[in-house]
Structure 1
């Protein structure tokens, strides 16, 4: 089985690799800076963000999630195999358990702000594909983040699946 990302994570990683990762290119550095500082509508006005939306098949109904994703991807400096929640937690967490609980419960703009701070605490390094997939499916990702943060393996099956 391959560790290569699939689905929306692969699309987002490809987009990040082309548009944000090459920090030696002035265009990548400028786009990253604009995305980090822009208001939501300004983020949506970026041609590169519209390319990301097309790649992910996101429309106006998902505009908030697209803005959140673009802003957070602009914060990442290095793609590494480790998921963000694992980088934040573990035996010696860089993000306190109370702050992690606040992050897990957050919604909307507060979630974006807390994730931006968390990325900074994780040295702006994480698995870009996993982060993108998690942002796009945040409700489903929250339980796995709890397991990742505490360094535990998430159960393969949910309790419901075991009962059936």
Structure 2
């Protein structure tokens, strides 16, 4: 787990703690909020400070999606929804991997609900911070339960 993942997991455990009324209230507020409303929450700015980011779009994406997660587990989301008996159909997974911006956020939120609100928070948070071709490639291999290759098209996959 990277430092970014550890930071996001720590923030999630503290700010969105389902055992406290404050954590449940913030989680509910973030799930229903517009991007500006998300950015009006002090806890969101705490995360930005911990991560050292000023990218509002990424921050809103991370916080909005993580507000759907209720339980942290070892399995990454793509693994939870895929496998031999997938929770998310192959076609819906393809659509999710092609989606961008708001469409990605709403698709991931639906996917988390389908996964029983459980996944690896650190991995998901880090993936959302650095969402791109490498992340989508890794998700494809995790969804199908295969080991990702070390290199794709001349680029090293991490």
Sort the TM-score into its range (normalised by shorter chain): over 0.9
Q: Does 1:45 align with 2:71?
A: no
| Closer, same or farther: CA 39–91 of 1 in aligned 2, 3 Å | same
CA drift of 1:155 comes to 1.1
What's the TM-score, normalizing by structure 1? 0.91
Moved over 2 A (4+): 156-162
Higher Cα Rg, which structure? 1
Unmatched runs of 5 consecutive residues or more in structure 1: none
CA drift of 1:24 comes to 2.2
TM-align CA RMSD: 1.3
| Closer, same or farther: CA 47–90 of 1 in aligned 2, 3 Å | same
CA drift of 1:7 comes to 1.8
CA drift of 1:157 comes to 3.5
Q: Which has the higher helix share?
A: 1
* Matching residue of 2:123: 130
| CA deviation vs aligned residue, 1:14-70 (integer Å, no higher than 9, x gap) | 0001111x31211001100110001100100100000001111111xx111110100
Q: Does 1:14 align with 2:7?
A: no
* Matching residue of 2:141: 147
| Among candidates 74, 78, 89, match of residue 96 of structure 1 | 89
Unmatched runs of 5 consecutive residues or more in structure 2: none
The alignment partner of 1:75 has SS state of: coil
| Among candidates 75, 90, 94, match of residue 82 of structure 1 | 75
What's the TM-score, normalizing by structure 2? 0.94
The alignment partner of 1:113 has SS state of: helix
CA drift of 1:12 comes to 0.3
| Among candidates 26, 30, 45, match of residue 31 of structure 1 | 26
* Matching residue of 2:98: 105
CA drift of 1:159 comes to 5.1
How many residue pairs match? The answer is 155
